[in-house]
Structure 1
Amino acid sequence: MNYLVTGATGGFGQLALGFLKDLVPQENIFALARSQEKAEKLTTEGFKVRIADYSVAEKMNAALKDIDALLFVSGAPGNRQEEHENVVNAAKANDISFIAYTSFADVDHSTSALAADHLFTEKTIKASGIPHTFLRNNWYLENELPLAGAALAGGKFVYAAENGKTGWALKREYAEVAAKAVATREFPEVLELSGTPVSYGELAQDLKEATGKDIEVIAGSDQAFIENLVTNGLPQSVAEMFLTFQHDIKNGQLDVTSDDFAQALGRPLASRVDGLKELLQG
């Protein structure tokens, strides 16, 4: 049984590879990278590397030769639907027997701009007839490091999501479930991977506890949110992107309650306080 992890040079892919090699023989694990240069670290760590880009169908076909189970890490926004279709078509052409795909929270009902590509990909995988598990990842706690950094630098935790809630968890926890999904192939078709949904006000209190810092918590306007991030070193364009996430959260796009995550992990998720300590100290 051969396994391939896509996006293997990214943070999620590298974490997933680390968990996967504890579950299956490393000699059966392949890592997909876009260039040999990017893959050098993986090669030195003992992984077999294949080079391909989602956008080039012929190379994807070659990369998936003799692969049995695929951990399909979603690509970056842009031309994602066409690129993802190339991956699924290559999987079908190579008779891959299982796909675990990193999707988006509650994607069937989501109106987030982030959801459309994931819903398209889920439907494409279903249509392929390949057995699968959709890993509907909520939101990485890591995504909030710019907000936490601005708060620690300027003394103000400013958010614009009002009372919207998010099911934060650590990227490594999502990656561990992904590795288990592709190694065991025993999970159901859909896993809604969400921590306990809480508001930014609660997250700010967790940050204060994790750091021992006296931080002012401000439920602010869109402009105040952007200004706080820019003042503390984030580029305007990036701050504006983070504001779109705030709008999604305000509109309930990540307010998903499910016990799938802890069940799949086989243990409770790390607390947000412990998670923040891990990230800020790491």
Structure 2
Amino acid sequence: MIAVTGVSGQLGRLVIEKLLKTQAASNIVALVRTPAKVADLAEKGMIVRQADYDDEASFVSALAGVEKLLLISSSEIGKRASQHSNVINAAKKAGVKLIAYTSVLHADRSPLGLAAEHVATEAMLKESGVPYALLRNGWYTENYMASVPVAVQHGALLGAAEDGKIASASREDYAEAASVVIQQADVAGKVFELAGDESYTLSQLAAEIGKQAGKTVAYQNLPVADYQSTLESFGLPAPLANLIANSDGGAAKGGLFDDSRTLSALIGRATTPLAQSVKAALGN
């Protein structure tokens, strides 16, 4: 059986949808903190089991009979390392034969602050003795699409990425890659650096938004600290504002760029074009 963590989240849900195209529902174990949130999956014949990242014992029970585990990284930044440790330890106790983990692009040399917990998790996987594969996901295009309507309204896209190239892909692209890898044989020990086929700067993103919206949208680059303060003034919690601003700063240093096209090769198609994502964000 194949188990997937975090199935009530956006990426987890998409992975499940992809797996259902090639796997019987009874061969998929959906792991979630609150099973009631995914009652529809149980109705489809999927095995839904309660598992909490903070509770190793819950994962030991939930992973009974599971051969392959897709460990989707926790969304609780700052707690990820300890939570992932719980899952990895549980997987070892349960006899899981492969763990595929969603890490971050070029984690071992990434300038992004959020990479630290991914690096720690990768080290734990190596030390565990459980065969594993690393899905080092690049930036999700959706991370920028939430800013599109505001950029159109004010005629400006704010950021701190300078002229850094961003090779993002859609969440669906990454979900499809995860479903492919977890079903493949002989992926243990492999590292997949995953990013979009095309890259762009935030200035180019602003230009694309303006082109589709029919008005001028300029990119306004700010120092990382100023960008964080601006995001907080918009009502974002400080930790989230810090994450976004720090990631833009990492992009300025090349942290969100990769031109290997490993992702499109893995899924057998081109990654979702930026223009298509902008169109959707504009509701066109």
- The alpha-carbon deviation at position 263 of structure 1 amounts to 0.7
Over the matched positions of the two proteins, sequence identity in percent amounts to 31
Which residue in the other structure is 2:219 paired with?
217
- CA displacement, residues 10-60 of structure 1 (integer Å, 9 cap, x when unaligned): 000000000011121111111011013323233234422100101111111
- The alpha-carbon deviation at position 240 of structure 1 amounts to 4.4
Indicate the SS of the match to 1:191. strand
- The alpha-carbon deviation at position 242 of structure 1 amounts to 2.1
In 2, the alpha carbon distance for the partners of 1:12 and 1:163 equals 28
Partner AA of 1:189 in structure 2: K
- The alpha-carbon deviation at position 104 of structure 1 amounts to 0.6
In 2, the alpha carbon distance for the partners of 1:210 and 1:51 equals 44
Which residue in the other structure is 1:128 paired with?
128
Indicate the SS of the match to 1:169. coil
Distance 1:210 1:20, change over 3 A: farther
Higher mean C-alpha displacement, 143-152 vs 91-100: 143-152
Which residue in the other structure is 1:77 paired with?
77
Partner AA of 1:194 in structure 2: A
- CA displacement, residues 173-231 of structure 1 (integer Å, 9 cap, x when unaligned): 00000011111235471110012332111122222234334323323445764576567
Partner AA of 2:142 in structure 1: E
Indicate the SS of the match to 1:108. helix
Which residue in the other structure is 1:3 paired with?
2
Higher mean C-alpha displacement, 149-158 vs 55-64: 149-158
In 1, the alpha carbon distance for the partners of 2:224 and 2:118 equals 27
**262, 268, 271: which is aligned to 2:270?**
268
Which consecutive unaligned segments of at least 5 residues does structure 2 have? none
Which residue in the other structure is 2:147 paired with?
147
Which consecutive unaligned segments of at least 5 residues does structure 1 have? none
Where do residues 143-182 of structure 1 align in structure 2 (5 Å cutoff)?
Answer: 143-182=143-182
**251, 254, 271: which is aligned to 1:252?**
254
Which residue in the other structure is 1:90 paired with?
90
8 Å contact from structure 1 (residues 24, 183) kept in 2: no
Indicate the SS of the match to 2:65. coil
8 Å contact from structure 2 (residues 152, 209) kept in 1: no
Runs of 4+ residues over 6 Å off in structure 1 = none
In 2, the alpha carbon distance for the partners of 1:130 and 1:185 equals 15
8 Å contact from structure 1 (residues 139, 254) kept in 2: yes
CA-based RMSD of the aligned residues comes to: 2.2
TM-score, length basis structure 2: 0.90
In the alignment of these two chains, the number of paired residues is 280
Partner AA of 1:259 in structure 2: R
Q: In the alignment, does 2:56 pair up with 1:57? A: yes
- CA displacement, residues 64-118 of structure 1 (integer Å, 9 cap, x when unaligned): 0101111110012122112111111111111111111100110111232211111
Distance 1:173 1:210, change over 3 A: farther
Distance 1:221 1:129, change over 3 A: closer
